[in-house]
Amino acid sequence: MALAASLERKRLESVHSGKSMSITWKLPQYIVLAASEVFNIIGHLEFFYNQTPDTMRSMCIALSFLTISLGSYLSTLIVAIVSVTTRGGQTGWIPDDLNNGHLDYFFWTLASVTALNFVAYLACAKSYRVKKVLVED
């Protein structure tokens, strides 16, 4: 999200100076986002497969996917909250014409929420105890 915010700031600067910017500048952020999603989902599945009781594996993996869907709903809520910035005749952060808005502020907001989520993750990970897996020879 920080990469997207930085790129959006650069895009807005180029638009306001009358220059155009190639869409290929977006490729690095999409590659980073796709790679993080892939590694995250694989890590979730591996964690739930190894660390949950055998009788609860499928339910825990399903709960993992449920958290991803809840994250999508949370994203919708964040967009709705950010839409408040359009009140009072202001263009807001996400107007119809993105050249007049501040999509970079929105990306920085998402980066901040992600950083807070990471801090919460670290707090949970610190108190986590690994399940001992016995391997039969």
Report pLDDT digits (tens) over 20-38. 888 899 898 899 889 988 9
Q: Where are the domains of the chain?
A: 2-126
- Residue 81's alpha-carbon distances to 75, 78, 106, 137, in angstroms, are 10, 5, 10, 56
Decide: helix, strand or coil at residue 20.
coil
Report pLDDT digits (tens) over 59-96. 988 888 898 899 889 889 988 888 887 777 778 888 88
Decide: helix, strand or coil at residue 137.
coil
Q: Indicate if the pLDDT at residue 112 is higher than 70.
A: yes
